[in-house]
Structure 1
Amino acid sequence: MEDLDVIKARVKKLNAQAVQAKMDLHDLSEDLPTNWENILDVAQRAYDAHKNLMAARKEMAAASA
């Protein structure tokens, strides 16, 4: 199992990526119908970012216990 500090650093990085993905999705939605072709790509990136973040948070909680 990884060192708790390493996991925390990864969670922090993944959190920043998830926030950016959320903002990208939000910005895209405000500009619709412009760039509607990008909906699936941007949504998939947001989904993946949040999925990775939730997995890392779960790992951090297990390492903390």
Structure 2
Amino acid sequence: MAELEDLKAQAKKLNAKATQAKMDLHDLSEELPTNWERILEVAQVAHDAHAALMAVRKQLAAATPA
């Protein structure tokens, strides 16, 4: 049960990171063409954050009793 709680806590933290990354990407898009050089960097951060969140959500789903 402790593993399940750890996964929930990790998912909560990763969700916050993914949400922030999404907002950063959104903010950058609204500023274009200013800072266009940062598109790949900001997009990679958002991609990595969401990939990590989806991986933890998958683990959480597998660990949760049906």
What TM-score results when the alignment is normalised by the length of structure 2?
A: 0.94
Give the AA of the match of 1:21: A
Identity over aligned pairs, percent: 67
- Structure 1 Cα separation of the partners of residues 58 and 6 of structure 2: 14
Residue 43 of structure 2 is matched in structure 1 by 43
- Structure 2 Cα separation of the partners of residues 48 and 15 of structure 1: 12
Residue 31 of structure 1 is matched in structure 2 by 31
Residue 3 of structure 1 is matched in structure 2 by 3
Residue 19 of structure 1 is matched in structure 2 by 19
Equivalences, count? 64
Q: Which runs of 4+ in 1 moved over 3 A?
A: none
Residue 59 of structure 2 is matched in structure 1 by 59
CA shift for structure 1 position 13: 0.1
CA shift for structure 1 position 7: 0.3
RMSD: 0.9
